[in-house]
Amino acid sequence: MKTKKVWKVTSNVITGILFLLLIFMIFVVVSSKASGGEPNFLGYQLKTVLSGSMEPTFMTGSIIAVKPVENPTSLKKDDIITFREAENKLITHRIVEVNKNGDQTMYVTKGDNNENKDGDPVLSQNVVAKYSGFTIPYVGYFLDYAKSKTGTALLLILPGLLLLGYSGLSIFKALKEIEKGKGKEVEETV
């Protein structure tokens, strides 16, 4: 009787984990597609680290959470910012110098792992977000894969199939138990 209870608890835990995995995958894929890039979560944007310029602060392949900046002129030295360098190129580096000239604010930036400062100062209006201090190593590789057509299909279908397969197995085991119970009833009545 005790093994049945352990099996039931284990079964419920596995079903719950598979269901949460499916919901998380749907969120990642839909959020990535809707935003046209990295997913957003509770007002934070999740960005993938593509180079080692900020190591050891965050490693290549990590995801970092950045918060969109409301007042880009209020940033200070040592803040880590994400800024637009070109039309489709975002960079995340540390502010090493703040230069104010009238109502124009510019930031001199540098990657923690780079020997030299970045070539051009960053105009405050090109600052997109500020690093929140939240990093998850290596998950960025996964998010990049999730953005591909193959990754999208696989990440939506695989957890669903696992959940479906596990549900089928649970139903099969339950039917087997019912059959055992009916067999015992027949033996007792004879």
**Cβ contacts of residue 113 below 8 Å, gap of 6+?**
52, 53, 54, 55, 56
Distances in Å between the alpha carbon of 57 and those of 3, 64, 136, 142, 182?
48, 11, 11, 20, 63
- Of 97, 53, 56, which is closest to residue 75 (Cα–Cα)? 97
Question: Is 32 labeled as catalytic in the residue annotation?
Answer: no
Residue 161 and residue 87: Cα distance in Å, rounded? Answer: 40
List the catalytic residue out of 11, 31, 35, 51: 51
Query: Where in the sequence numbering do the catalytic residues fall?
Result: 51
